[in-house]
Amino acid sequence: MTDYAQLVAYLGIGVILGFAALVVPWLVSPRYRGRETEQTYECGVDTIGSAWIRFSISFYVFALIFVAFEVDVLYLFPVALVFDEPAFGWRAFVEVFIFLTILSMAILHAWRKGVFRWER
């Protein structure tokens, strides 16, 4: 097979699998939508009142900040694994220090904006 034929084959398989992932659940899912199906269910406890309430934007902002900093912390693990190798030395230490400084400045900025302050 040439390189282009292999590429076309992989793209075709990807399109077929993507299409199958959308069509197969539609074909095998039950069609009945009764009253029980449309009720809100939370941990086996019946809901009290309407389930359609507005949440404060601070919940979403806090979640986005958490995800962003969690990804940043994941960048530190590979650096920690190779930090003791002699090829990296002080340069790696300075780069990690700069990275953590920028990360800390972002946390301080969010703190000053009041993201971590919960209002009732």
CB 80 within 8 A of CB 88: no
pTM: 0.46
pLDDT over 90 percentage in the chain: 18
Q: Per residue in 66-81, pLDDT tens?
A: 888 888 888 888 877 7
Q: How many helices (H) and strands (E) does the chain have?
A: 3, 0
